[in-house]
Structure 1
Amino acid sequence: MKNLLIISLIFVSLSFAQSQRGFQKMLSSSPEELVSLSGSMPFNQAMQMLSKMSKQFINKIIVLSEDITDPIGIDIIQMNWYRALLLILKYNNLEYAETDEYIKVLPRKAERPPIPEALRGVDLNTREVNISAVFFELDVAKSREIGLNWKWLLSSTDMDIAGQLGQVDNNIFNLNPQQTTEQNKTFNLGLYSQKQIGDFIGRATALFNFFEQNQLGEVIASPQVTVRDRVRGEIQVGADFSTREKDFAGNTVERFYSTGTIIRVTPYVFEEDGKNYILIELEAERSNAIPGQISTEIKKTKAKTDVLLVDGEETVIGGLYITEEKTERSGIPILKDLPWWVFGIRYLTGFDKKTYSKKELIIVLKAKLVPPLKERFTSRKKNLNLIEKTREQFQNEIKIYQMNPVEEK
């Protein structure tokens, strides 16, 4: 009995000593043991930093059972490294096992992830909205040279949009009626009336094709995305660039920024008197990144609005301008491109010329309700081929939107 009591006291004293050692590690405020981490730092990088400190102070390394690249999610400001380790593990619902040689971060328990808040309440009657867009970039200078106004052309409904643009009578500058003159260049638009072209997006597509054929601009993209009711969707045509920044703790982090043509839409579907209509929170952005010697400049043009549309209706966003700067080398061929150390000939035979071109981004947006799941289940029971049906629909739209150029006289 006495031996059992002695053994129990030994175990209690060892446990108390171990807990006291951990308590001292957590309360240590030595400057060498303090650490600051950003909440956006990846988990594996944070563990590497803490592992070096653990090896230095208690001669133990930190071992990961799995590679976790998610951010730690919590900011650590001037905290003891051991306490920071426990706080990060607890925040990410992770457990650890400590031995005499290492501290092992145990793998996450396999559990069913919770349903996000945005996905709750989804049923067979949930509506979806198909958002289709056409991004067109118009050369402002060239369009003004021939007197084109896309706003007027798209707003015309009952009248002919244009027969021939830029056509001049052959004899207007001819003093001698017997002489022949060269015929001026004409722009054949070939749009006669709204009935021939179809709906609004059809007229816009045909008009953009005309602009593209006459080198007045180009269609950048024609994306489509299906968005659930009251859920935000995003369309981006561009690129992401990264910059190295320092957070509040002085750590160097790499952050990415989105540039290009970006549209963010959030549809809200309403039904009243048996008619469906859509409220769209719309945000359009045109931006590009210009790297500099000190920092990177982002030139941005942004528009934000709320639009009410009926099923299948379209809207137009314009006025998003951007100025592109290009540097061209002009002069005597071959000699203007010689290196500077060849007697400076490149400076005598050539020069750098900067050109500026102003572009306007025109966005045509169309919102169309997608049939609910109940109707789609019924269609599947009827063995309807969705691919063939969609192909026929596209072919019919191509026939409707096909341009008919006016024959030159």
Structure 2
Amino acid sequence: MNMIERDYYTDRSVLLDPYDWFEEMRAKGPVCRMANRDLVLVTGFAEAVELLNNASDWSNAISVSGPLLPLPFEPAGSDITDLIEAHRPEIPLSDLLVAKDGTPHVHSRALISALFTPSRLKANQEYVTQLADRMVRCVVDNRGCELISEIASPFVTFVVSDILGVPEVDRDEFRRIIDLAPPPGNMEAAPPPGKEAEWAANPPTIEGTSPLEFMASYFYRYISERRASPLQDDVLSEFAHASYPDGNQPDIAELIRLSTFLFGAGQDTSAKLIGNAMRYLVDVPGLQDQLRADRSLIPAFIEEVLRLEGSTKVVKRLAKRALRVGDMEIAPGTKVVIAISAANRDPRRWEDPAEFRLNRPGIKQHLAFGRGAHTCAGAPLARYEVRIVFEKFLEHTRSIALCEDRHGTAGNRILDFEPTYSMRGLANLFVKFEPA
């Protein structure tokens, strides 16, 4: 089977390393149809930016459930906006923030505006810095660790817990549930080509309850308690007392959905970014010495990793109206997969796109956090917490290396990525340290 005929959603080799597949698809054009699916794929940077910025013609209703589930209605007419909204309750998870459109999205987004402001991040900077210092010192003293489970996942979980105001006594239980759940876009949840109509989404269950449902029971208690109390200095208290821009107060169910989604999304992508960035820090010749000598370069390092190996591989949209993307005519009801990982390596936009370049010109124009109305609200937090943890790694070490018995040599790495079609993250990364 040639590369193009491989199925993006079920071929393990493509899920583990999608970049060759994306390049083969790019050769068909920056906008093309997948060979085995009734889906349109966008690999071009300019085309992706145009689409992401156009919230009026595209719906996010399938952003969480994905494009493989059949629509619960038959698209008809030149504008299916009303059909989408009429059937939204039948689209799984379409009530989450990233799946909302129009005014409901604007209102929900306004509720979380206080979460990632510079003042909010500054307020918890001491906690994040002390946490990073303590965790990094511990693994450096041990001269090694498995980075994902010992640093990346617990660190970002504790950071978002602190910002949201999750009590310390509950944080370990939240971590346990998150660690047990399969990653988003798990290949085992994807139907074979041609079997989409026979397949129904089955969210992962933990002890009989989905991870979101488990966390929702906790957030219901937190928000109810805060609504019954005067305003406190944490985000959940602000949620509990917040109002929409029109002055109406959201119901508790909406606040719970927002809180659980922010908690889940706020830890997974940042944890993956820490693992992906550590791999480049170790394997790009001279990079860690350069950053250790000048830590002001760490933000530029993170941005280039976000471009080359961001945590999100693809996002999904549903065409509301007939329109043109690139050279392709798109009909209402068309499902489009925007390959963020491919757009960020588009040679029409980036010179030598597969090469790591510190201080690459225009680097912050990458699409790792999206673009337009649905730009990732947690981008400031991700940049902030990942910067701090790498500052501590460079401060406390003389050198960092991957364990060759686990991952091979620099020229012949053996790396185990999670086989998901949504995310790009390492299943594990064994690292050894020489203390400073």
Higher helix share: 2
Greater RCO structure (CA 8 Å; 6+ sep): 2
Shared fold (TM-score, shorter chain, > 0.5): no
TM-score range, shorter chain: under 0.3
When Rg is computed on C-alpha atoms for both structures, the one with the higher figure is 1
Normalising by structure 1, we get a TM-score of: 0.24
Higher strand share: 1
